[in-house]
Structure 1
Amino acid sequence: MDLLDSWRDLPAAQQPDWPDPARLRDVAGQLSKLPPLVFAGECDQLKAHLAAVARGEAFVLQGGDCAETFSGATADDVRNKLKTLLQMAVVLTYAGSVPVVKIGRMAGQFAKPRSKPLEVRDGVELPAYRGDMVNGFDFTPEARVPDPERLLRAYHAAAVTLNLTRAFTQGGYADLRQVHAWNHDFVAESPAGQRYERLAGEIDRALAFMHACGADPEEFHRVEVYSSHEALLLDYERALTRIDSRSGLPYDVSAHFLWIGERTRQLDGAHVDFMRRIRNPIGVKLGPTTTAEDALALIDRLDPDREPGRLTFVTRMGAGRIRDNLPTLVEKVTASGAQVAWICDPMHGNTFEAESGYKTRRFDDVVDEVAGFFEVHRALGTHPGGVHIEFTGDDVTECVGGGHDIVEDDLHQRYETACDPRLNRGQALDLAFMVAEMYRIGK
């Protein structure tokens, strides 16, 4: 057996119960013949950037939708997400005085793990919605049947998203001289937008000074934004794995950066086995039950050569547990000599159900978990390498708190997520300013 297929003999968590295995094999065969969505050389570039993060020389901003939808692969939706990511990155770069590696949760985040395989409404039991890559959101028996054809639709939606992303980031939209234009629809009614506008004015003056000095770096006119998603559906990821013609090594060309989720990081499981064999930079989500022994075993399995930039740990502990649970992990991993990048996901450990039944998160809890992440790393003399955020460019009401002080009674107004609650644009910018301040103070 090809080693890239050895995962098929191991337990694979969170895989759909496909009703027609023959059709799944046919779709996987079609995917295996389609062009790559990203290139191995781009993955290597990102790995080099993440090596700089592991050395303490840069900071990661990773963010985007909780669960992308096929209907969201439009110019407006992609631009709005990119606009928010770029604004957050500008805040972190300028106010935090740190190079920022920009990674979108986009162009592939179409599948989601679920805590329960079934959903019950009014006594009716149906399979859970697992993302547009698997089944439909509508609560009907027809929509909830896993359909392998959706894997092909996911590929094409990802291709559209990446094409738009490259056009926006390389075609002038991401020019630093556009920092005001990104904000025109936002500044008047938003405290975060007004604060951003003041920062944009400072950037304008800095750019004018550099131009007067004869400096006009290429980096001011375009940016690199890398794609990422959770490598959840292994049939899709395997079908999009290619052998790099330069090196003869396998790369999963569905995204630049892939991660293993908290629910699928079993050492003897299929996800770890598959991911150890591809050469992309990869991440692992570490929840509050993770032990130092777990972390060290994952390093041995996924990064045996201790390659800088290869492995990123994304911690998702919850605001109430990060200060207690994270120090031992960081101490033991650092003592082992492994060069991993540490990123904080302050979203997934802070979800709760409001009285209205909506899943939500408190903005203050998100901020507090990031603060705890910084406190632990500063106390240990290690580098807080980045944040992993679920946000949207739209004015949704899914998380409570922030500059507009959304309360639980507001959640129904624009609760639009396909899965978990996201920060809206104002909350995302608020968070960026706070993270920049934490980073600057700790330097």
Structure 2
Amino acid sequence: MEGTFLGTMVPGLFKVSWSGWSSMLPPKPKWSIDQIPDLSGKVMIVTGGNTGIGKETVRALLQHNAKVYLAGRNAEACAAAIRELKRDTGREAVFLRLDLADLKSVKATVEEFMSKETQLHVLFNNAAAMYPDVDLVTADGYDLQFGTNVLGHFYFTKLLLPVILGTINTSPPGTVRVIHTSSVGHEFVSGIDFDTFRDGPHRRRQDTTRLYFQSKFGNVVVSDEFHRRFADQGLISISLHPGNLKVNTERQPSLGSKLVSVFNPTLPGATLGALTQLWAGTALVGAELGGKVASLVSMQSQEAVLQRGLGIAKSLASGMGDNVNGLDPNDRTPDPDRLLSAYFHSTTTLNYVRGLLTSDFASLHHPRDWSLSHVRSPALRTEFERIVEGLSDALDFTQTIGLGSQHTSYEQGGGRGVLGEVDFFTSHEGLMLDFEEAMTRQFPTPSSLLSTAQATTFDGDAVTPPNVYYNTSAHFLWIGDRTRQLTGAHVEYFRGIRNPIGIKVGPSMAADELVRLLDIVNPDREGGRVTLITRYGAGKIESHLSSHISAVQKSGHPVVWICDPMHGNTLTSSTGLKTRHFGTIISELTSCLRIHAECGSRMNGVSLEFTGELSEDGFSVTECLGGSMELSEDQLSSRYQSFCDPRLNFEQSLDIAFLISNSFKKARVGRKGADSDVLYSELGGRKYPQP
């Protein structure tokens, strides 16, 4: 019976509090709308304000001089409600187009509101989907009731938080509030079934009544979590049960609504139902209700419900990385001391790596010492040994003719050499703008970047170089494929810093969009300023790369092209682990080399995620399938250590190096047919149809 109407209702009847039962026959309220204080100068939003208790809430707020935004998705119905309310109150609400079942619409609504207002004193999250057909889902694919009642309102509130918290600074204490309309139905469920969020067989087996009750429990969880996080900043977040009200069985024809409608003769209407949220939102006592569940009959703490909600909220809170919080659900509160610790460890690590790279660690002088014991294929081992011998012979030849012999090695006090050391730079995606902005500083433009004309006056006097902004958290930052919107905050930030920057380019990037993006971040067409990091996937690169190259060439923008063959080739193994197959990685890589050559362009580098990390027993990690060690799915879990993306291990990284070396050698001597050689085929390279 679990998930059915009876399986939800029968056990739930024994869980309902006295407040829930007594709201079936509510006593005469001790508080009325006449006690609402004057709300002149106050700005409020009521979602679902065109009908039911939402409309009655708007009516009462208008009567007390508030500026009210009536938010709803049906423009015609909202316009009719606004006309009715103006006729009755003499004041006009402002229509705000809002579809809580479409997260893009939610964001657009917030942008519209914030373009008009700088304050928001009370937000009434009142709207709800109730008992719809279980087949219905939101525009984003979520269960319609949870997606509308919980996720939509959560996202709406989250996006409005900057203006809400800003209003606190200019308002009397305890008057800025967020009101979440729940239901006594939240007492009928013991928690949240996460498998019902998205559509699927399990969700479709649930009764729509249970899904509604679950969403109402979600309202309590969200309200309490907002209180927990923002009460110290003065925000009052309250959830409430408006009372058992008359049910319209035409709008809600489920079995649950029909049974509840039996009590319609004794149940109050929308006018009385609006009292609870008006009381919570405007009464002075409302300042004491933060983190609690209000009802017509009593103000309850409902400790058991709130404790269940707290446990769920902890499990929902994002693990944002070791720099911010912990992976354990009980350790999800952001901790600024973690950032300080991360800064110290980052500095120490960078200094260690710099020291390591200047101590012969990166030297190419001893290729015969490289171990090839991991290579299982005899043919592949032969190819690798041939490459190593070729490199060794070339190095031996340079020593024979005395090249470099007149120089002292760097570790012995001499200058740097290309064979003994490597240049080392740091890089990351500029995703968290709060962090990146905090790490941004102004510095004078380096003299090396100034032309003679810029560095001197007409009379030849030196000019103080202008200050420019540098992000000091890395040498090189890139914009991710998810945050490259032309009018977005990330592009605006990257436009203003002087660091060399990268842009991830995927299959969703249109050619003309790429050129417009380059115009924004590099209007002066400065060489070396922008690196394009392509990441299509082995099966899509043939359809997209050549058009992107052609568009950039025609635009005249100087760019550096880098291939990222990792991110477009992620998959889930049959054992549930996130992984990548080495064969698809090298397929995209070799296709990228070939397409650039065919377009008269050049691939200038490769972006890889790899690690030399070893397990406690001295073996490499096992996170990507294939390669010369022929890693199989049943071996993935042996030493899978990544918390995020799967990485190539040391042996697979060496495979890539050999492959690239071999490809460039063939290009140098004029040989073609990269897809047919032994190295490519033995490493699992795959062929994809060309368009």
Normalised TM-score (structure 2):
0.44
Secondary structure of 2:435 counterpart: helix
- From the superposition, tell whether residues 441 and 123 of structure 1 become closer, same or farther in structure 2 (CA, over 3 Å): farther
1:176 aligns with 2:395: no
2:338 to 141, 145, 150: 150
Distance in 1 of aligned mates of 2:551 and 2:434: 34
Contact conserved, 1:237 with 1:252, CA < 8 A, in 2?
Answer: yes
Distance in 2 of aligned mates of 1:200 and 1:173: 18
1:354 to 566, 570, 573: 573
Q: Which moved more, 1:360-369 or 1:171-180?
A: 171-180
Q: CA deviation at 1:420?
A: 0.9
2:419 to 220, 223, 234: 220
Contact conserved, 1:126 with 1:144, CA < 8 A, in 2?
Answer: no
| Residue number in structure 1 paired with 2:318 | 128
1:409 to 634, 655, 670: 634
| Residue number in structure 1 paired with 2:558 | 339
Secondary structure of 2:482 counterpart: helix
Alignment of 1:12-411 (within 5 A): 125-138=315-328, 140=329, 142-180=330-368, 183=370, 186-190=371-375, 199-216=387-404, 218-245=417-444, 246=446, 247=465, 248-394=467-613, 395-411=620-636
Task: Give per-residue Cα distances to partners, 1:195-215, cap 9 Å, x unaligned.
Answer: 656644544443333233232
- From the superposition, tell whether residues 251 and 194 of structure 1 become closer, same or farther in structure 2 (CA, over 3 Å): farther
Contact conserved, 1:378 with 1:442, CA < 8 A, in 2?
Answer: no
Secondary structure of 1:177 counterpart: coil
Distance in 1 of aligned mates of 2:501 and 2:325: 26
Q: CA deviation at 1:406?
A: 1.1
Matched AA of 1:313: L
- From the superposition, tell whether residues 302 and 441 of structure 1 become closer, same or farther in structure 2 (CA, over 3 Å): same
Distance in 1 of aligned mates of 2:554 and 2:667: 22
Contact conserved, 1:312 with 1:341, CA < 8 A, in 2?
Answer: yes
In the alignment, structure 2 segments of 5+ residues that lack a partner are 1-113, 116-157, 163-310, 408-416, 447-464, 614-619, 669-691
Q: CA deviation at 1:189?
A: 3.6
Distance in 2 of aligned mates of 1:272 and 1:193: 46
Matched AA of 1:392: T
Two-structure CA RMSD over aligned residues (Å): 2.8
Aligned length: 323
Distance in 2 of aligned mates of 1:288 and 1:226: 28
Normalised TM-score (structure 1):
0.67
Matched AA of 1:127: A
Matched AA of 1:230: E
Matched AA of 1:169: L
Larger radius of gyration: 2
In the alignment, structure 1 segments of 5+ residues that lack a partner are 1-8, 11-16, 22-120
| Residue number in structure 1 paired with 2:232 | none
Secondary structure of 2:562 counterpart: strand
Distance in 2 of aligned mates of 1:135 and 1:343: 33
Q: CA deviation at 1:423?
A: 1.0
1:434 to 640, 648, 659: 659
Distance in 2 of aligned mates of 1:147 and 1:236: 14
Distance in 1 of aligned mates of 2:389 and 2:508: 45
Secondary structure of 1:215 counterpart: coil
Q: Which moved more, 1:213-222 or 1:423-432?
A: 213-222
Task: Give per-residue Cα distances to partners, 1:360-387, cap 9 Å, x unaligned.
Answer: 1111111111122122212211111221
Contact conserved, 2:427 with 2:476, CA < 8 A, in 1?
Answer: yes
Q: CA deviation at 1:154?
A: 2.6
- From the superposition, tell whether residues 303 and 425 of structure 1 become closer, same or farther in structure 2 (CA, over 3 Å): same
Contact conserved, 2:366 with 2:392, CA < 8 A, in 1?
Answer: no
Distance in 1 of aligned mates of 2:639 and 2:312: 24
Distance in 2 of aligned mates of 1:204 and 1:427: 21
Distance in 2 of aligned mates of 1:193 and 1:274: 48
Matched AA of 1:415: Y
Contact conserved, 2:593 with 2:603, CA < 8 A, in 1?
Answer: yes
Task: Give per-residue Cα distances to partners, 1:234-269, cap 9 Å, x unaligned.
Answer: 222222222234442221121111111111111212
Secondary structure of 1:265 counterpart: coil
2:646 to 418, 421, 431: 421
| Residue number in structure 2 paired with 1:78 | none
Q: Which moved more, 1:336-345 or 1:168-177?
A: 168-177
Contact conserved, 2:374 with 2:628, CA < 8 A, in 1?
Answer: no
- From the superposition, tell whether residues 442 and 291 of structure 1 become closer, same or farther in structure 2 (CA, over 3 Å): farther
- From the superposition, tell whether residues 235 and 434 of structure 1 become closer, same or farther in structure 2 (CA, over 3 Å): same
- From the superposition, tell whether residues 149 and 235 of structure 1 become closer, same or farther in structure 2 (CA, over 3 Å): farther
**Higher RCO, 1 or 2 (CA under 8 Å, sep at least 6)?**
1
Distance in 2 of aligned mates of 1:279 and 1:288: 28
Distance in 2 of aligned mates of 1:168 and 1:287: 35
Distance in 2 of aligned mates of 1:294 and 1:134: 34
Secondary structure of 1:374 counterpart: helix
Matched AA of 1:293: D
Q: CA deviation at 1:163?
A: 0.4
